[in-house]
Each structure stands twice: as C-alpha cells, then as structure tokens.
Amino acid sequence: MPNYLGIDYGTKRIGLAWADELLISLPAGAIPGVECAGCWEALAAEVANRRITDLVVGYPVHMDGKVGRRAQEVDGFIEQLQARFGLPVYRVDERLTSAAARETVGGKPSAKGADKSGRVDATAACLILRDFLNNLNT
C-alpha cells in the first residue's frame, strides 16, 4: 500500500503532509528546516512512523518556468532524500502554494515568516501533495 509524504522545503521549517491509499492529503505538521539541528532525524522518524513509500517535494520554479537558486537548493535536498531513504521522489510545481496556504489558514500574504507554528508550511505541503495525487488519476 502506498504512503506518501508531501514536503514543503524550507531552511527554517519543513512542512509535511501525508496520504495513504485513499489519496486524501492531510497536513502532518512541520519539522526543523535544513539549516536546523534535528532536521534529518525528524524526517527519518516521519518516514519510519508513517511507513512512507513515496516522497513528494514542492519544486519552486519561477513564474516564467525557469529554475532559479531556490530550485537548485531543492535539487540538493532531493539528492539527500534519495541517498538517505532510497525512496522515489517526485517534484511538484509549487508556484503560489505558500500564498494559497497563508490564505487557507487565515494569514495575510505579507505575513511571510510570521507563522512560527508551522501551520502554513504544513498546509503548503498538503497543497503540494494534493496536486500530485490529483495528477495520479489523469
């Protein structure tokens, strides 16, 4: 049975979402970002506890479709995911997901970085995973 982990990459926080064979994306909180101690341990715990089979990572391309510096950071993160977990990793265009996530949880678009709880990050991961799951059936 498939178990998917949606990931909204971040340096301060990484948002997570989860889905199983029912293909319903649910927010799963946030863990420390890649610049923080404990990032990889927390991610490994999520992968193990949820018996993850597939990783889905938001890929931040520019509005014109070009790959910039942030997408290159995510490429490095994906390489580490593959090396550490040996699971399939899928990239999903995440343009505008953070703004949509802030709107969903009632935050203002100008409040970037103001959500210390990780709700926006988890909601962004949920939207990323939902987009991936919706495309599985097309």
> What domains can you pick out in the chain, each with its CATH number?
4-136 (3.30.420.140)
User: 3-state DSSP helix/strand/coil percent for the chain, to nearest 5?
Assistant: 40, 20, 35
Per-residue pLDDT of the chain (138 residues; tens, 9 = 90+): 999 999 999 999 999 999 999 999 999 999 999 999 999 999 999 999 999 999 999 999 877 777 778 889 999 999 999 999 999 999 998 876 655 555 665 555 544 544 667 888 999 999 999 999 999 866
b/e map 105-123, b = 16+ CB within 10 Å: eebeeeeeeebeebbbbbb
> Distance (Å, rounded) from C-alpha 23 to C-alpha 4?
9
Query: Which DSSP symbol is given to 86?
Result: -
Q: What residue type is 66 in one-letter code?
A: K
**Which two tokens mark 83?**
């090396």
